[in-house]
Amino acid sequence: MAGKTLDFVGATGRAALRFAATVGEWGVLMQDTIRGLRAVRIWGGLVFEQMMRIGVASVPIALFIAAFTGIVLALQASYTFTGAVPVYLVGSLVGKTMIIELGPVLTGLALAGRVGASIAAELGTMRVTEQIDALETMAYDPAAYLVLPRVLAGAVMFPAVTLLASTLGIVAGWLTAIQLLEMSTPEFVRGLEAFFVPFDVVFSVIKSFSFGLTVTSLGCFFGFRTRGGAAGVGRAATSAVVASSMVILVFDAFWAAVLL
């Protein structure tokens, strides 16, 4: 009994140390990435390409998710708001929820699956095929060449994609309200305006910016530490998605606690 307890405590300690070591390795990578900012010659020409792959290419899936989220929000709001609750609050709920919560979070989660896994798999493949080692051998800063363009692209494009997704979600909610819920446009707009403050947009941008940094940096990190061939690449992609999703949700709560 005492031996099993000791084993459990030991396992917990090992997990904590492993987590701390992982965070430390991520920190070192981020330090190298920040240091690579000086090598504009290396990453400058790669950022737009990464923006295209991370941001522009993700717009359709982000808009698809946001549109149906807006529809569902409007329908569920009308289902919930009965009796004394005025119907214009459907607009309030759709607008507020899409801007400050579901727009950034769902876009972040969707792009964590698409972008994070893609980056981890790409860099993991480069790692197991020793391409990253070759870059280091050629005195090419892999952080500046591989990580920095992706992180910058994620940091810039996540907010842009999120804003578009939130807007389309609100439009989808409005169309649902006037077509399926017998609401008028003025009613929906009244609810939309009632609780809107410009800080909601700023809050959404801050959240999605942090999500972009998280997804791309963790994708790069797990890709960089890939071991064990093709299976390791798969594990790296999975780890990147899982870790990115968890951190997104943690950041979601963090920003809500700090900024709201």
Partner 1 sequence: MRRNEVWVGVVILLSVVVAVAGSFWLRGYRLTRGTTTVEALFSGVGQLPDGASVKLRGVTIGRVNGIAVEPDGTAVRVGLAINADVQLPADAAVLIAPESMFGDWGAEIVSRSANPRLDFFEPSDPGVLPGFSIPDLSRLTATADQIADNLATITDRVEIAFTQETAENLRLVIENVGGVSEQLAALVDAQIGAVDDLVENVRTSTSQVSEAAALATLTLAEVERLLSGGVVDSIVGDTRVTAAEFRRLATDLRETTTGLSTTLRYADSTLVRFERIGRELETGEGTLAHLLADSTVAVQTQSVLMQLTLLLEDFRENPGRYVRLSIF
Distance of closest approach, residue 29 Cβ to partner 1, in angstroms = 25
Cβ proximity to partner 1, 85 vs 249, nearer residue: 85
Does position 51 bind partner 1 by CB under 8 A?
A: yes
Residue reference for tokens 């941008």: 205
Number of residues that bind partner 1 (CB under 8 A): 31
Q: Which is nearer to partner 1, 30 or 205 (CB)?
A: 205
- How crowded is residue 90: how many other Cβ atoms within 10 Å of its Cβ? 29
Binding to partner 1, residues 188-217 (CB under 8 A): 192-198, 201, 205
Amino acid, single-letter form, for residue 219: G
| String marking each residue 149-188 x if it binds partner 1 according to CB under 8 A | -------xx-xxxxxx--x---------------------
Q: In whole angstroms, how far apart are CA 56 and each of 33, 48, 61, 154, 223?
A: 23, 10, 10, 11, 22
The answer to whether 222 and 240 have CB atoms below 8 angstroms apart is yes
Site for partner 1 in 215-244 (CB under 8 A): none
Residue in this structure with the two tokens 């941001």, named with its chain if needed: 55
CB 67 within 8 A of CB 168: yes
Choices 79-87, 107-115, 139-147, 227-235; region in contact with partner 1 by CB under 8 A? 79-87
Q: What would the x/- binding string for partner 1 be over residues 82 to 121, using CB under 8 A?
A: --xxx--x-----x--------------------------
Least Å distance, CB 107 to partner 1, is 11
What is the C-alpha separation between 161 and 194, in angstroms, rounded? Answer: 25
Span of 47-55, 134-142, 222-230, 231-239 interacting with partner 1 by CB under 8 A: 47-55
Report CA torsion sign: 96, 97, 101, 103. Answer: negative
DSSP string, 94-130: HHHHIIIIIHHHHHHHHHIIIIIHHHHHHHHHHHHTT
- Among 8, 19, 48, 79, indicate the residue that binds partner 1 (CB under 8 A): 48
Q: Which residues bind partner 1 (CB under 8 A)?
A: 45, 48-49, 51-52, 55-56, 59, 84-86, 89, 95, 156-157, 159-164, 167, 192-198, 201, 205
